[in-house]
Structure 1
Amino acid sequence: MTAVSDAATVASRLRAIEGVGRDRRRGGYSRHVFTTAERELREWFAERAAACGLDVEPDGNGNVWAWWHPCPRGDAPAVVTGSHLDSVPGGGAFDGPLGVISALCAVERLRASGFRPARPLAVVAFAEEEGGRFGVPCLGSRLLTGAIEPGSALRLTDGDGDTLADVAARAGLRPERMGPDADLLARIGVFVELHVEQGRGLVDLDSPVALGTSIDPHGRWRLSITGRGDHAGSAALADRRDPMVPAAHAVVAARQAARAASHDGARATVGRLEPSPGGSNAIASRVDVWLDARSADGNVVRQVVAEVCAAAGRSAEQEGCELEVFAESWSEATRFDPLLRARMRGILGDLPELATGAGHDAGVLAAHVPAGMLYVRNPTGISHAPAEHAEPEDCESGVEALTRVLSELAGSTGADGADGTGGNGSW
């Protein structure tokens, strides 16, 4: 590999986008799919990919692909890497962009070294991975693979009541064509995603990089509680049907149910709660509560959710309110491809391995193609918040690891066009 110039460092690439999507109210970044900030990042990605000599091709689901088409095996299954550019509300600078930037840096280094892949190599920026605008995580990869029914996805609404269909159309997509793309999926031979670690496992293991092993089962549910709006100063307590009361019981029940199942690694969180109309001197007429639940055991997740819903239901009945529960997303346990993981270990040596409770596009793709992950150390252990961080030296270690993996998986052609993969026709 060639020496790393400042222009090709992860830190310099992150500095180039550090002003995009800053959230002055929450801190951190709010970069939601098809908003001005996220579109600016898409344009930046396309420009950087083109500067790397890649062919940029948006797909019909809002994902953006940048292809390195080699000869002579341009029709071979591709080696794909990348991540996402969107964020949670008030998120950190690394979740998502680190994987995209590291992928571009890896391609730059391969090209500068004279490497010529024996099969196509692509960098992808997936859409709406966080679900920060439409509520469903990994929406771009779910649509691509058919993990979500297109009609259901297109009916999703954002906080302003705009549907995904309307927003996608304004962004230049054709909603009637959104959904599974078997031809594009068939082009992917293997997918490797680099991501900042969302925890402190690598701090405790004293390593800058780790291999991913699995993703815990996880899901999101919306509890919609309907009561009766009224005046906070004149409505007698005995006459109230206040949906905020069962909403509060749901928040407390989430902590209690997760604590009771903590031996199974259960986590349950209410991170979003929206009262309507939302006045400080008004009793809400409806409160929507979003519950996130995870565990290494899917049955434990379902039990935790059942307990939270039961607690909210009992409180709603006592308060004279009505409760409806909507399952917005669900992901079973993901085990990353063991053969790919073994091959990556052979390339990178004795790296530690980590399971995670955080979802990723790699987890969606893993049901269809060999998929794997690399994690870069986060010294704070904090993610989905402004304090999320990765040191420049650790980011460079991540790029070096990804570069080595891509080099081996994509093979190489010599001056005579011979396949340097040794005849490995899979990946």
Structure 2
Amino acid sequence: MWDRLRPVGRHPESGGYRRFAWTGADAECRAWFREQAEARGLTHEVDRNGNQWAWLGDPARGDAVVTGSHLDSVPDGGAFDGPLGVVSAFAALDELRGRGARFAKPVAVVNFGDEEGARFGLACVGSRLTSGKLTARQAHLLTDADGVTLPRAMEAAGYDPEAIGPDPERLARIGAFVELHVEQGRALDLSGDAVGIASSIWPHGRWRFDFRGEANHAGTTRLADRRDPMLPYAEAVLAARREARLAGAVATFGKVAVEPNGVNAVPSLVRGWLDSRAADQDGLDTVVAAVEAAARDHAREHGVDLDVVRESFTPVVEFDNVLRDEIARILGAGNRESGRLNVPVLGTGAGHDAGILAGSIPTAMLFVRNPTGVSHSPAESAAEDDCAAGVLALADVLEGLACR
């Protein structure tokens, strides 16, 4: 499975993946998912929001156990973020069939669409639509960098954008959703464990900072006469690093757009996107407020106007405690005489579909060790032995939840 999926959407120069929503690479990933489902005799379907499902058993029975993740990527992303959860889900079903497991509940593998938000700027579009956290009207307003709207992109890919929207009937069929994901950090590497259980997702959001100055000639305009938006933007970048360090949080300006974007031109507009995450809401509010205050102070100093727009926000997500504890029990957590967990429980600053769905259905996550901690990069990795350990852990969890 991994070898078949590996080349899809991989850029020959960067070595990273460009599997963006409703593109050719996305279509290839979807075809791969369908092939895997049909090869196992699973019932394949695509819901109104473009999410793919592969069912073992009748979903109408309810109380289904679902696993999976996503197949899209960030620009020049790594091979594991998302796909590891989908590949491992199919492999876990193979493992259970090899054990002769008898399922008492329906089981499904899911591929949620547009989790990364790389094309339209909003993460977890598929799961947000399904859970009602993104309305159809809001989704129809999403536009990519080329001015293509989400409805146009869906139509071009052969899907009906008029059908998107909340899907409570589907969610009502699901008793538990367990997402396996490569760890985006080094907690497991430092603890020496191959697999971990998620406790919560930090609150996080994305803010757009629009610095508006005055375009001018870089060679003839005196420094004193300039209204250069690049200067307060640069100060905002430094403020983000400073304030995040003080608060024990993270804050990143990772995307920037400049107009007119000429080497010999003073910019008229610098638009930067801030991503910030913290262990609690107060910490996040403190960081973002401080960054905005610094940006406004420096914008005034340079005669630049500033607009700040919060484009997305997800509050802290505490995964279902009952489900988390049941998974820990299944995996043998707490059986040592010392009482130490065999499978550690850890928080994460990364958002996931499981976090979006947590407000609607019981959700949980398993993490697989990432030896470098690098993620959203071609350098993202996981050892084959650790991936196999993740598959076995997921199989044990599915067996414990669906075969009783």
Same fold (TM over 0.5): yes
AA aligned opposite 1:202:
L
1:122 and 2:108 correspond: yes
User: Within 2, Cα distance between the matches of 1:14 and 1:242?
Assistant: 48
Q: Does 1:373 align with 2:353?
A: no
1:74, distance to aligned residue in structure 2 (A): 4.9
Residues 100 and 125 in structure 1, CA contact (< 8 A), matched pair in contact too: yes
In the aligned structure 1, how far is the partner of 2:185 from the partner of 2:3? 23
1:323 paired with 2:306, answer yes
The one of 154, 161, 172 equivalent to 1:168 is: 154
Deviation at 1:25, TM superposition (A): 4.6
Shift of 1:378: 0.5
Say if 1:30 and 1:89, in contact at 8 Å, map to a contact too: yes
Shift of 1:339: 0.9
- 2:388: which partner in 1? 396
- Hey, what does 1:46 align to over in structure 2? 34
- 1:157 and 1:316 map into 2 onto residues whose CA distance is 28
Matched, 1:306 2:306: no
- Partner of 1:81 in structure 2? 67
Question: Does structure 1 conserve the Cα–Cα contact (< 8 Å) formed by 2:95 and 2:392?
Answer: no
Residue 341 of structure 1 contacts residue 372 of structure 1 at CA under 8 Å; is this kept in 2? yes
Distance 1:228 1:169 in 2: 39
Matching residue of 2:197: 211
1:135 is aligned to 121
Partner of 2:82: 96
2:399 corresponding residue in structure 1: 407
Matches of 1:62 and 1:184, distance apart in 2:
13
SS of 2:61's equivalent in the other structure is coil
Structure 1 residue runs without a partner (length 5+): 1-12, 412-420, 422-427
User: Shift in Å at residue 230 of structure 1?
Assistant: 2.1
Range that drifts further, 306-315 or 109-118: 109-118
Q: Alignment partner for residue 294 of structure 1, among 265, 270, 277?
A: 277
On the 8 A contact 1:214/1:336 being kept in 2, the answer is: yes
Matching of residue 232 in structure 1 with residue 224 in structure 2:
no
Are residues 1:55 and 2:43 paired? yes
Alignment match, 1:197 = 183
Structure 2: which amino acid aligns with 1:364? I
Q: Which residue in 2 is equivalent to 1:417?
A: none
Shift of 1:310: 1.4
Aligned counterpart, 2:9: 21
* Aligned-pair identity (%): 53
Q: How many residues align?
A: 395
After superposition, the C-alpha distances for 1:42-92 in whole angstroms (9 at most, x for unaligned) are 11111111111111111111211111125xx85122110000001111111
Q: TM-score, normalised by structure 2?
A: 0.94
Q: CA RMSD in A?
A: 1.4
* Equivalence for 1:282: 265
- The AA in structure 2 aligned to 1:398 is G
Q: Show CA shifts across 1:123-149 (max 9, x none).
A: 111111111111111111111101123
In 1, the alpha carbon distance for the partners of 2:13 and 2:209 equals 26
Output one character per residue of 1:219-260: Cα deviation in whole Å (capped at 9) or x when no partner.
111111222222222222222222111111111110111122
Task: Determine helix, strand or coil for the equivalent of 2:291.
Answer: helix
Partner amino acid, structure 1, of 2:65? V
Q: Aligned partners of 1:148 and 1:390: how far apart in 2?
A: 33
In the TM superposition, residue 24 of structure 1 has moved relative to its aligned partner by 3.7
From 242, 246, 254, the counterpart of 1:256: 242
CA distances 1:178-206 after superposition (whole Å, capped 9, x unpaired): 12111111111110000000111111111
- Per-residue CA distance 1:152-188 (angstroms, 9 max, x = gap): 2221111112111221222222222212111111111
Deviations 1:322-355 (A, max 9, x none): 1111111111111111111111111111211111
Unpaired stretches in structure 2, ≥5 consecutive residues: 334-342
**Normalization by structure 1: what TM-score?**
0.89
Correspondences of 1:322-341 after superposition (within 5 Å): 322-341=305-324
